[in-house]
Homo-oligomer: A and B are copies of this chain.
Amino acid sequence: MTLPAEFHDIAKRVNNWGRWGADDEIGTLNLITDEVVRGAAAEIRSGRRVPLALPLKEDGVQVGMIPGRINPLHTMVQINQELFGPGTVACSDDAVSMGLQAGTHWDALTHVSHSGRIYNGRPAGTITAHGRAEFSGIDKATPVVSRGVLLDVARAKGLDRLPGGHAVTPADLAEAEEFGRVTVRPGDIVLVRTGQIQVYLAGDRHGYGFPSPGLSVRTPEWFHARDVAAVANDTLTFEIFPPEIENLWLPVHALDLVEMGMHQGQNWNLEKLSTACAEEGRYAFLLSAMPEPFVGGTGTPVAPVAVL
């Protein structure tokens, strides 16, 4: 089995290998310039801060569908322990075991490979158990602070949430842009709201992941044309799942991460942000979404915040 010609055609059109030099490890994060950040600062008007991370807990969004990606097991190593003797100040300390992509997270560019390659044409074999990702590990990412734009696809269509089988198309994105009276600019981080996370928030952990609305294989070209820095949404799989084209699994991952070098975010809770943007009548803000710098990590938990 090989990837179909259709995939390779799109791949050619969105490919950024070499664009920022042969040594580049961060892809479209290069598009976040100081000027872009100054523009982001200009979007802060009310000062309202909206957090976008799901709580990290044992009954998180993972249900065993993806092998090895466990919800956080959060345990105590000290509880009110008077380490320096009776009557002294007492300490509590905790530990965690978890999949780095278990909850609200960023995919590193190395999260997927295809045809033996990762972003910028490097061999997939540079990812090992010993060294993890030698190139483009999540610790290489420059600070992810930029202008954020919410494309509220569900709200633009007057829906609470998109149905499970809905592939979000470029037309949907343009519609949401128009709805929000906002224009996506180079260096922006685009948040695409489907409303799917409501399924999880309502307690249906199994229904959340599958079937899921998500980005269509047509969207990478749209993001590429606009020189977007990164994209995140409120689903487990990011792209529509099961896929639009039979047997073509995770094509959006391969196009975004490998070809464009564009980081992807998943399981972002955009519900409160949707309300806040609707209330304030504006869909751009400063977004801070700093990866935890796991050396060689192929993903990372993230606690993003939109500052309106």
Contacts and interface: CB of A to CB of B under 8 A. Distances in A.
Interface of A: 1-3, 33-38, 41, 44-51, 53-59, 64, 66-70, 72-81, 83-101, 110-114, 124-125, 127-130, 132-133, 139, 142-143, 145, 247, 249-251, 253-254, 286, 288, 290-299, 301, 303-305, 307
A93 to B, nearest CB: 6
A96 B100 contact: yes
Nearest to A38: B47
Contacts of A37: 44, 47-49, 307
A58 B101 CA distance: 17
Contacts of A145: 49, 288, 305, 307
Given A73-B77, A91-B112, 5 more contacts: A55-B139, A68-B75, A74-B100, A89-B250, A292-B301
B97 A95 contact: yes
Q: How many copies of the chain does the oligomer comprise?
A: 4
A144 B111 CA distance: 29
A139 B83 CA distance: 23
A143 B92 contact: no
Contacts of A291: 303
B127 A85 contact: no
Nearest to A32: B49
Contacts of A58: 64, 67-68, 70
A47 B53 contact: no
A196 B111 CA distance: 35
A98 B68 CA distance: 12
A79 B127 contact: yes
A250 B49 contact: no
Contacts of A34: 46-48
Nearest to A142: B49
B53 A69 contact: no
Contacts of A125: 80
A298 to B, nearest CB: 4
Contacts of A2: 87
